[in-house]
Amino acid sequence: MLYQPALRTLVVMPTYNERDSLPVTLAHLMEHVRCDVLIVDDNSPDGTGAIADELAQNHTTIHVMHRQAKDGLGAAYIAGFQWALERHYDLVCEMDADGSHQPHDLPRLLAQAEADASLSGVIGSRWVAGGAVARWPWHRQVLSRGGNLYVKFMLGLPLHDATAGFRVYRANTLEHLNLQDIESHGYCFQVDMTRRVISQGGAIAEVPITFIERESGESKMSGAIVREALLRVTQWGIDRRKSRVSQWVTSLRAQRNKP
Ligand SMILES: Nc1nc2c(ncn2[C@@H]2O[C@H](COP(=O)(O)OP(=O)(O)OP(=O)(O)O)[C@@H](O)[C@H]2O)c(=O)[nH]1
Ligand SMILES: [Mg+2]
């Protein structure tokens, strides 16, 4: 069934070497949701950019942004978000091109965002009741679950899947985030976005999804990406604790100085 969002909706889809997956993912997406799509390609050596251009020529709803070189998921999304804000979309989605995020799950994410205007965003979550992962080896499950537990412990985020990359944001939330300050490259970009939204008092809902391991192409997950996430989350956690202690000391002093 084709879902037609009431709000102007853009799906931002970063690509790097997704020549086989991209056309299939887009065909499924167009079967399930009526929305615009922006492909953000980092000059993929396998020719994904040219395939994206061909798809854009055949479908007025598909747009392509070509970037010079591989610069990470975070930078690609930030460029895509800015493109969306310049064009006044209401809802901006994140979705992988590798088939892991199933287009038939997107209407539930969008419906939740549309039904509750107080939400800043909606996350398609693997680690809530009803969520699942398919075809993932045990070590990937451990990494994802362990990563999320560490994020919760360090940052206290009220979410089960803060590293997830299947999301819907309200454009006005993105507008107030100072996107140009975000330096995260790999999947810690997702955690970074989440903590920024929450620290501004925004609410994020989780909707269960089934995440499926890609069938073709190669994962861009690497040791460097895991290390970046570990270092940044640890640093954010230390900063958070420091600022809590200084708040506590300030309020203690204020109480002591009361007549
Ligand atoms: N433009 C751009 N896209 C990227 C970059 N790195 C990854 N992507 C895309 O971002 C999406 C997610 O990347 P994946 O390789 O699946 O990485 P992942 O989802 O973190 O890892 P897996 O869980 O192993 O699939 C895919 O559509 C990639 O093509 C990048 O540096 N630039
Ligand atoms: Mg993937």
pLDDT 10s digits, 98-113:
999 999 999 999 999 9
The answer to whether the CB of 75 is under 6 A from ligand 1 is no
Tell me, in angstroms, the distance from the centre of ligand 2 to residue 254's CA. 50
The pLDDT score that the predictor gives to residue 173 is 97
Ligand 1 mutation target, pool 26, 98, 228, most atoms within 8 A of CB? 98
Whether residue 259 is predicted with pLDDT greater than 80 in this model: the reply is no
3.90.550.10, 3.40.50.1100, 3.40.640.10, 1.20.1250.20: CATH of 9-256? 3.90.550.10
Environment class of residue 113 by beta-carbon count within 10 Å: exposed (0-12), middle (13-18) or buried (19+)? buried
Stated pTM of the model: 0.95
pLDDT in tens, 128-140: 999 999 999 999 9
The pLDDT score that the predictor gives to residue 49 is 98
| Closest to 36 measured CA to CA, from 15, 63, 14 | 63
Ligand 1, atom 9, lies closest to the CA of 15
Atom of ligand 1 nearest to the CA of 100: 25
pLDDT in tens, 57-71: 999 999 999 999 999
The pLDDT score that the predictor gives to residue 219 is 87
* Mean predicted confidence (pLDDT) in 188-213: 96
Tell me, in angstroms, the distance from the centre of ligand 1 to residue 16's CA. 7
Helix (H), strand (E), coil (C) string for the chain: CCECCCCCEEEEEEECCCCCHHHHHHHHHHHHECCEEEEEECCCCCCHHHHHHHHHHHCCCEEEEECCCCCHHHHHHHHHHHHHHHCCCCEEEECCCCCCCCHHHHHHHHHHHHHCCCEEEEEEECCCCCCEEECCCHHHHHHHHHHHHHHHHHHCCCCCCCCCCCEEEEHHHHHCCCHHHCCCCCCHHHHHHHHHHHHCCCEEEEEECEEECCCCCCCCCCHHHHHHHHHHHHHHHHHHHHHHHHHHHHHHHHHHCCC
pLDDT in tens, 143-198: 999 999 999 999 999 999 999 999 999 999 999 999 999 999 888 999 999 999 99
Domain boundaries, the chain: 9-256
The pLDDT score that the predictor gives to residue 220 is 86
